[in-house]
Amino acid sequence: MKYINNILNWGINLLLLSSIFIALWFFCQVFLFTSFRIPSDSMEPELIEGDAILIWKPTLGARLFNLNATLRLEQVKIYRTPGLRKIKRNDVLVFNFPHPNNWDRIEMHILKYYVKRCIGLPGDTLSIKNGRFRVEGIDEPLGNIESQQKIGQTLLEEFPCGVYHCFPFDSNINWNIRNFGPLYIPKAGDQLPMDRKNYQLYHKLISWEQKAKLEYNDSTVFLNGEPIREYRFLKNYYFMAGDKGLNSQDSRYWGLLPEEYIVGKAAFVWKSVDPYTGQFRWDRFMKKIE
């Protein structure tokens, strides 16, 4: 009988320890960190295909939402815990890609992630001049300068198909990855006039915020059939770009990123495996992401 009681006690203790470990792991995954594997070369040279990176959530604050609903592809309300600091320009961030199904509307797919560098913050006015990112009033270098210089030096006929022309893909605005903007990046509370140009630049954001239909007709913008002359934004937005500018699907093509889609800041490479040979890249282990 004593032997059986010892086995039962051992089993109960093991179950208790397992439950504590699972609860602790779940807490860490929700509030502290998660991992993401780099699937492409769009962030080279900082991140390369096969890197496994740790994403630190407390920087901006962990997100809380209905996970089951997102797995059913439903759009949900996202809450965020208080963060340690605000996002800075040049931070490398992991986020849910805002256009998983259609580039004409913003949606969140919990299983579709991108990693890019933050170039523009809410309230910034951003331009691209001869391939180089510029933010009005800011002198610091933004993004991968070598890649931007290469774009500025590339002849029009040398750009790969589909790379040169970009957001908002409007013939009147006619921006491209060498000369772009100026584009104002809205912050919560900003009020902008609703003319044709601003409709082209911001209609996806407004439709997403209002969960309503936005249209432009006869020089007037209509929200759910009602004319509007200006719009006050409810959310913060960011401009994201890959370090490898000639091979990165980023804000130059799909537009601005809502703040609540950001998972966290990429902190360091905790493991790196060559996807073609399966060999560990030991020199990249524990590399800080800058």
Domain segments of the chain as ranges: 31-190+233-288
Distances (CA, A) of 275 to 48, 58, 133, 221: 10, 30, 32, 49
8 Å CB contact between 228 and 182:
no
Residue 202 has φ and ψ, to the nearest 5°, of -125, 5
Across residues 198-219, what is the average pLDDT? 94
Helix (H, G, I), strand (E, B) or coil at 261: helix
Mean pLDDT of 221-243: 95
Q: pLDDT tens, 133-163?
A: 999 999 999 999 999 999 999 988 899 888 9
Burial status of residue 281 (CB atoms within 10 A of its CB: 0-12, 13-18, 19 or more): middle
> The tokens of 260 are what?
């609540």
| pLDDT, greater one: 11 or 211 | 211
Residues 96/110, Cβ–Cβ less than 8 Å: yes
| E runs forming strands in the chain | 33-37, 51-56, 63-64, 79-80, 92-96, 113-120, 125-129, 132-135, 179-184, 191-193, 214-217, 220-223, 226-228, 230-232, 237-241, 257-258, 262-272, 287-288
For residue 173, give the amino acid letter. I
> Lowest-confidence range among 30-39, 154-163, 164-173?
30-39
Contact indicator for 264, 95 with CB cutoff of 8 Å: no
The CA distance from 21 to 11, in Å, is: 15
User: Average pLDDT, stretch 285-290?
Assistant: 94
What pLDDT score was predicted for residue 33?
Answer: 75
Q: Which of 176, 185, 169, 180 lies closest to 128 in space, CA to CA?
A: 180
Tell me the residue type at 158.
E
Pick the CATH number of 31-190+233-288 from 2.60.120.10, 2.60.40.1930, 3.40.50.150, 2.10.109.10: 2.10.109.10
Q: What is the mean pLDDT of the chain?
A: 90
Q: How far apart are CA 97 and CA 200, in angstroms?
A: 20
Residues 119-135 pLDDT 10s: 999 999 999 999 999 99
* Cα dihedral sign, 203-206-211-216: negative
pLDDT > 90? residue 26: no
Model confidence at 1, pLDDT cuts 50, 70, 90, reads low
- Let me know: does 286 contact 269? Beta carbons within 8 Å: yes
